[in-house]
Structure formats: C-alpha cells, structure tokens
Structure 1
C-alpha cells in the first residue's frame, strides 16, 4: 500500500465526555497492560493535517513536470529536423539544380550553311536532321530537313554540370521521358519512324557529357524529307 494512503497518526487518542467504565471480568489497573494493536485505522484524517494536503498535490506536480519534459523533447527534435534540412550538403539531390528539357527548335544566333560535315554530338541542336545517322558515331553530317535524311533530333535533357552520375537504368528512364515529351507534327505520320534514345555512359559522364537525346529515325535510309517538329 502506498504510504500516501495512510492518514497521519493523531496527537492523542480520541476522548469522550466521561471516563470509560471497566466492564466486569476485565483485568484491573494492576493487571499487565494489553498489547498495543498492530495498526490503527481512522475513518478520516484530521482536517488541517499537512501531510494529507501534500499527498493530493504530489501527482499533479509530477504530471506537470512530465508534460514539460515531453514538450521540450518534441521541440528539440523539430529544431534538429529543420537544421538538418537547411544544412548545406545534407541532401545533394535536393540541393542540386534541376536539369533543362528542350523540345522546340531554337534558331542559332549565327546560322551556319548546310550541309555541314563532321558535326560533333556535343554540337547537335534540337531540330537538326542527319544523313546516314549513327548514334555511336563521333561526328555526323547535318543537312536541311527538307532534303533526304534518316534521323532528326527532337528533344534533349541537359543535367547540371555538378550532378552525380545517375546510373545506366535511371538514364534510360530519363531518355524515355524525354522522347515522351517530344511534340511532333502531323508530318511524322507520313513516314515509318522509330524513337531512338542516346544517353551518357559512365566514362563520357566523367568527360563532361550531361545530355540525354531523343531522335526519330527511319530504318530504310535517308527517306525522310520534312521536319517533324513545329
């Protein structure tokens, strides 16, 4: 039993208005005293008993302290989460700048005459048309799109320079998204075309290649004679 549940002992035993009579057969004053009872239970603690009042306040104080501690812990965790999210370098993926998707033709500031031989992949632009196109080639021939060609670059996605290499599978998925984002004109229905994707390898990424390309290509050679982009 909790010690707080035992009322304090009274200062003296209860008194009555008269001296109690000793019943017949009860041992007289000279007899040996009876042993004291083990415990004494009173029906009500004295009104102004100090310990009685403290027993009622104790649980409330502990509950208040418990609530304050819980609030302090929750506040500390919330502050820690905010600090981690705002800390530089906490999540490189979140801090990295987004890539750039291009699906429309942008005329060059200084137009160059066509056809052009030996154009490197890094110089390809959305809208360029190629004869005898090979996506693995180190250079291609760019021609006017109203002349016979076998491929046209219809969309690109450029990763930021500081981006980490995503891996082959994520790059394949990104290339598929790029092709799905390409906007083709009804002229594309005049030819039997396929989508062809191109993305950096781990080696070319280390060399600075950050571009994912989507082409439309013809299987039968240079049979396309119109641009399929607006």
Structure 2
C-alpha cells in the first residue's frame, strides 16, 4: 500500500508543485503575470505579480468583429502602438527586459480572433517580482 502511494505521489507530486493557474491565451487579462512564459503557447501559468515571474501582460486591445483583416504589418504596428500607449513603471535598468507583441494571423482573424497584446518579458527567466502597471 505504501509503495502504491509513493508511486502515485512521484507521478503527481511534481505536477502539484507547479505554481500558478493555467490560463488559455484568449483569457489573459491586462495585468496578468506569468511564470515560465512562452509567447507561442496556447496557455501559460499566471501567478500574483508579487511572486517570481517572467512576463506581464501590460496592454490588450480587441478590434471590432466586422473589421476586415488589415494585414500583418498593420497589426504589428498597432500592437506596437498599444505597447507605447501604456504608462508603465519600469525599473531604471531595463537591459534584461523586452517588449513582445501578439496579434492574430490571417487564419486566426478569419476564425474570429481580434486580440492584440503587449507583454513585457524578462530575458533572464522568472526574475520579476512586481507589476509594471501604474
């Protein structure tokens, strides 16, 4: 009986120790902080911004549902402007930070995705411990 318990714990234990809540990319909220952030993933784990994390969603915008696909360059520019429009509380040393934008592909747009996001991400991993939003 003890052996069975140890086998189950060794399989489930490491999963239970992962911090945060898994959130689908379509459900990210402005201000969310992410541990082990992967911009290409369909979901990431959120944690309170006071805990160690590697990225934060600092701006988000959803285009009108009836807007025709404006093209990749236009979406990239709009997402960049979204990032610049945000008032952020950045540290003096920003050499380990990068701005990352996310926007739908033409196929995603055709299926209804109209979301543009701006993230601030650490290039040094889960080293952030506060919010960039004022």
Q: TM-score, normalised by structure 1?
A: 0.48
Q: Secondary structure at the match of 2:92?
A: helix
Q: Which residue matches 2:35?
A: 131
Deviation at 1:206, TM superposition (A): 1.3
Runs of 4+ in 1 over 6 A off after TM superposition: none
Q: Which residue matches 1:220?
A: 124
Deviation at 1:190, TM superposition (A): 5.5
* 1:1-230 equivalences in 2 (<5 Å): 115-117=20-22, 119-186=23-90, 188-189=91-92, 192-230=96-134
Structure-2 separation of matches of 1:131 and 1:197: 17
Q: TM-score, normalised by structure 2?
A: 0.81
Compare relative contact order (CA 8 Å, sep 6+) and give the higher one, 1 or 2.
Answer: 2
Q: Which has the higher strand share?
A: 2
- CA-atom RMSD in angstroms: 1.4
Q: Tell me if the contact between 2:20 and 2:35 (Cα under 8 Å) persists in the aligned partners.
A: no
Q: Secondary structure at the match of 1:216?
A: strand
Structure-2 separation of matches of 1:182 and 1:189: 17
